[in-house]
A and B are shown apart, each in its own frame.
Chain A
Amino acid sequence: MAATASANSLTSTFLPRQGVYGSSHQSIQLRTQKFARKAGSGTITAKFELQPPPYPMDALEPHMSSRTFEFHWGKHHRAYVDNLNKQINGTELDGKTLEDLILVTYNKGAPLPAFNNAAQAWNHQFFWESMKPNGGGEPSGELLELINRDFGSYDTFVKEFKAAAATQFGSGWAWLAYKPEEKKLAVVKTPNAENPLVLGYTPLLTIDVWEHAYYLDFQNRRPDYISIFMEKLVSWEAVSSRLKAATA
């Protein structure tokens, strides 16, 4: 009979859940790791769980359809999490936080087998939380100041971000990231599962440019998808809150 110990909540840079699902949590909780103790055997296995996006699946219509979420979250993201759990179960990677797992399995550019699933699990969670219903608009406050300082203007930043997303050949992601050493913002594009964590940067915003992210809604029209993302989906609150945590 397996007894489940209480969930170990992890702090991360993701924004607190609020709004649609009611109460906002004090602690920033992204992933719950449930530790299951099997009676008699003494084994502890940690399992990552697939968290739902912080809004209902049809909340981003018509800009991102609920059909897309059904597949993108329900199949792709779920598969990354499930496969990751299978890969690390019983190995020395078991029990690590997801961020640690990513850095360890990145293995300085010679990635171990679990890297793709770990990074993709993280990337997708980050992506859902980079968007919100009635998103878009423009950033404000400290974030806008930094954008103006490091890109010249918000429009220049948007242009650079869109270009990075459009020119990432094949599968990948485009990011706004904070470089802690230089204390500067930067736009970064990464292939496949890579993300700025492995570069030592702090991610602030991302857009998924794997074709599965936009194919049902936009087919090959990636630039349209990117524009809609910027105009209608981006959660500047999430970005600001991540910046605050990064510069604290």
Chain B
Amino acid sequence: MDAVWFGLNVFLFVDAFLKYEKADKYYYTRKILGSTLACARASALCLNFNSMLILLPVCRNLLSFLRGTCSFCSRTLRKQLDHNLTFHKLVAYMICLHTAIHIIAHLFNFDCYSRSRQATDGSLASILSGLSHDEKKGGSWLNPIQSPNMTVKYVTFTSIAGLTGVIMTIALILMVTSATEFIRRSYFEVFWYTHHLFIFYILGLGIHGIGGIVRGQTEKSMKESHPCKCAESFEMWDDRDSHCKRPEFEGHPPESWKWILAPVILYICERILRFYRSQQKVVITKVVMHPSKVLELQMNKRGFSMEVGQYIFVNCPSISLLEWHPFTLTSAPEEDFFSIHIRAAGDWTENLIRAFEQQYSTIPRIEVDGPFGTASEDVFQYEVAVLVGAGIGVTPFASILKSIWYKFQCADHNLKTKKIYFYWICRETGAFSWFNDLLTSLEQEMEELGKVGFLNYRLFLTGWDSNIVGHAALNFDKATDILTGLKQKTSFGRPMWDNEFSKIATSHPKSVVGVFLCGPQILAKSLRKCCHRYSSLDPRKVQFYFNKENF
């Protein structure tokens, strides 16, 4: 999909470049400007194309709708719809690249126009530049710089194209610098509010071409005095008996609005839809304050149906009218409510937790949009599932583990899983003690049903020191782990994946094992390597499949 998009970009660029480089209509324009005309126009076309595309991936409701109607479509297509933000960023980078090309080309263009305006050597370029701006003579000028005294800066800031260009570029730069990963993760509000500068970008783009600064020869003028015949004899254009008259030029009509009109309308619909959905009533059925400042909200909303691994956007008008923050759903679809666990990780989350902590005032109103994201149904298709959750990546597994457990209890036929190996890697369990409790209760339920072997989990604490380890060593004899209270003992450090994979391979020599990760990229690399290494060459024996889904 990305390759198709890239190919289209290349095709559009080359096509426009050749058109402006070869067409006779722009022969005289090229005489002044050279190849930079074609460069600027080619990058302009790519900018139009990419500006059209950039609004589409962020229409998440539209994408959800497409995915819903496409439930019979191939899974790869649906997964593409989920990598919407990646595509948005890719298109943004392309816009930045073409903006740079466009600006540099036009800088050269303006300089050429300026020089030929000031030239007094009687060359073709200077004569073309002298073509009058006088409206009475048809306004068929070529050079936008009207007099030799005008500087390029003046023309830039007094023409619509120049002014909107500067505004758009500054808006673009501010959007990009506030959207770097570091700023987005640490100061989300800066990113969110600054990114709304896109409105200026889109408006600017719509009116950028109105001035018709890009000039080509008119049809009529080409019929009368075609450049092939007349360009050589430019000194004689004004002679009464010459065949060639002065060429006349017209501006290129603006076409950017044609590209962006439909996406803008779709985006407006998207925002209206988000607003409408947010107005639907959300009933909070339970509020739980977990240790380490984690807030659990159990809610109900009419018509809400979720699948495992999805997320919702939450807004709290009393804290901030405009901010929507994403949270992974931690409840299973089988439950009659949906829940999220909110950790204090910034201004908005801390304010939210504080608002809910007030026991004697009314509960703040919550608005919910969603759910979004691919359902991770693949988890249920494997006989043996290896689930790895690192740090905050453990959150979608709450939903998955609960759902697997419900399906198992009802002997759901869709569930092919017979054994789960769950690896939980985090620095310290503090903020995830609620997940701890979930594992404990799952442990208990499994014991009651007599299915102790179904779920195997191991917790790895990477933030250990010798105190913790000494403490664990002293309490080795106890039945439950001293840190977590779980039957499984905590290990310290990072898992040695080779050992784990070889153990799993020997215990399940004939199974297909699905490996699912929610965590950092480095971990994904090592897991993928292990999957390759431990998958047997014989397709009937153990096979490990690493699932690239990002929850």
A binds B: no
